Structure 1
Amino acid sequence: MTHPLNSNTPRLPGRPKRSEEALPMDQMILRISSNLFMENGYEAISLQQIAKACGVTKASIYYHFENKAQLFTASVTSMTGMARMHTKRIMGQEGPLLDRLRELAEVKLARPHGDFETIMREARASLSPEQIQAIMASEEAITDVLTESFQQSMDRGEIRSGDPLFLAHTFSSLLMVGNREISADYNLSPSHLAHKIMDLFWHGVAPT
């Protein structure tokens, strides 16, 4: 099994979609670069490749971002900010916790992604302590939303009492397992994979 970060030829998108062309240039660059970084890793993607994928010059990238590390940090924090917004929307809906978690899993697994921890290990040497802290804080903001939802469900008696932060980290870790290679190995759609992961998270491995 070949990990996307080890590919010699990163997959690049073609021309920006019409919806992306309508965005301000810096937002278009962030959206496209976040997809490239998440699918291919930090080292595999150059600013020249990002510029080509965006349909702009490399000078245009430098006009908005000082260097690759700054662009990576902005891309990741922008992506996690959107993820927090979607997480908050889904978890704030009415209905059973299981249904909301399953919907959240389907949304996340529908988007191709590599192993974020591997990507961060690769990028860490190029990032400043402040940039690393900004990325960590943006991730923690998503965890906070999940933690609050688990605590509320515990207070309602919907799930047994425990450590809501531990549950949030466990749930997030299980979703990280569901990357595109595993989906392909088992020939599962994002929806089917989300159901399998949620069944394991919700029921565990003990016999019923």
Structure 2
Amino acid sequence: MEHSAHQAKTKRPPGRPKRQEHEEATSQFILKTASDLFMEYGYEPISLQQIAEACGITKAAIYYHFENKPQLFTAAVTTMMERARKTSEEIMQQELPLYDRLVMLAERKLRFPHGDFETILRKASDSLTKEQLESIRRSEESIHHVLTVSFTEAIQKEEVRPLHPLLMAHTLASMLMLGNREVATDINPSPQELARDIIELFWNGVGIEPNSRSGGAQ
């Protein structure tokens, strides 16, 4: 009996320790909260104290997970972009005409308006290291890569004109960024309406013929 009791006490529970799970959950919550604040207000106006208050934790708890504001900003932005990449990939891999997938992608992006990312990153760049900037740019390019692959496949299927796929990806991303600014003003069409307007404008530039959607939604 004593031997069995000893085994019960020393046997390790399956999975990760609760403390580790709690710390990981806290870290992810900080990243999500920080990315929301940074993307809405920019880098400079947001302090670690404000992020801590928004999370309902102490500033010391922020420092427990992240060394400083630049590190938190980099981690928050790259994590946000990784989520965007996965979402984009899920949409673009669906068995639908390219036009319809692009509309879905645009609607998804415009549903969550935020500040101009290029402006936010430019103002933050003086506080970031070269490695941190490169990490953010790699994350950004991973999203463009998803579109590039889809456009390459569409060219092979003759759904779109044989233009440079990466250029097409960057062009659409820029148009959606402008659309994001319009949604943020709250005086323009709904995200759904604006998404379709943007894709119509883009499609008339890359489609085989104007208004030719290869079976897309009318």
TM-score (normalizing by structure 2): 0.82
The letter for the 2-side match of 1:34 is S
- Structure 1 residue 91 displacement after superposition: 0.2
CA RMSD across the alignment: 2.1
Per-residue displacement from partner, 1:98-132 (whole Å, max 9, x unpaired)? 00000000000000210000000110000000000
The residue aligned with 1:12 is none
SS of residue matched to 2:185: helix
Per-residue displacement from partner, 1:176-199 (whole Å, max 9, x unpaired)? 001244553643111111011111
User: How many Å separate the matches in 2 of 1:86 and 1:54?
Assistant: 25
% same residue: 57
Change (3 A) 1:32 1:77: same
User: How many Å separate the matches in 1 of 2:138 and 2:104?
Assistant: 24
- Structure 1 residue 47 displacement after superposition: 0.3
The residue aligned with 1:136 is 137
SS of residue matched to 1:159: coil
User: How many Å separate the matches in 1 of 2:137 and 2:200?
Assistant: 29
User: How many Å separate the matches in 2 of 1:162 and 1:180?
Assistant: 27
1:116 matches 2:113:
no
Contact 2:114 2:184 in 1 (8 A): no
- Structure 1 residue 203 displacement after superposition: 1.3
Could you say which structure has the larger radius of gyration?
2
User: How many Å separate the matches in 2 of 1:185 and 1:203?
Assistant: 27
User: How many Å separate the matches in 1 of 2:73 and 2:186?
Assistant: 29
User: How many Å separate the matches in 2 of 1:32 and 1:74?
Assistant: 12
- Runs of 4+ with deviation above 4 angstroms: 180-183
Contact 2:35 2:73 in 1 (8 A): yes
Segments of 5+ residues of structure 2 without an aligned counterpart are: 1-21, 212-218
Q: Number of residue pairs matched?
A: 188
- Structure 1 residue 79 displacement after superposition: 0.3
User: How many Å separate the matches in 1 of 2:53 and 2:183?
Assistant: 30
The residue aligned with 2:57 is 56
Contact 2:70 2:128 in 1 (8 A): yes
The letter for the 2-side match of 1:75 is A
Contact 2:204 2:210 in 1 (8 A): no
The letter for the 1-side match of 2:62 is I
Change (3 A) 1:194 1:181: closer
The letter for the 2-side match of 1:119 is I
User: How many Å separate the matches in 1 of 2:132 and 2:59?
Assistant: 22
Segments of 5+ residues of structure 1 without an aligned counterpart are: 1-20
Contact 1:93 1:100 in 2 (8 A): yes
49-58 or 180-189, which deviates more: 180-189
1:78 matches 2:79:
yes
The residue aligned with 1:199 is 200
The residue aligned with 1:149 is 150
User: How many Å separate the matches in 1 of 2:182 and 2:195?
Assistant: 14
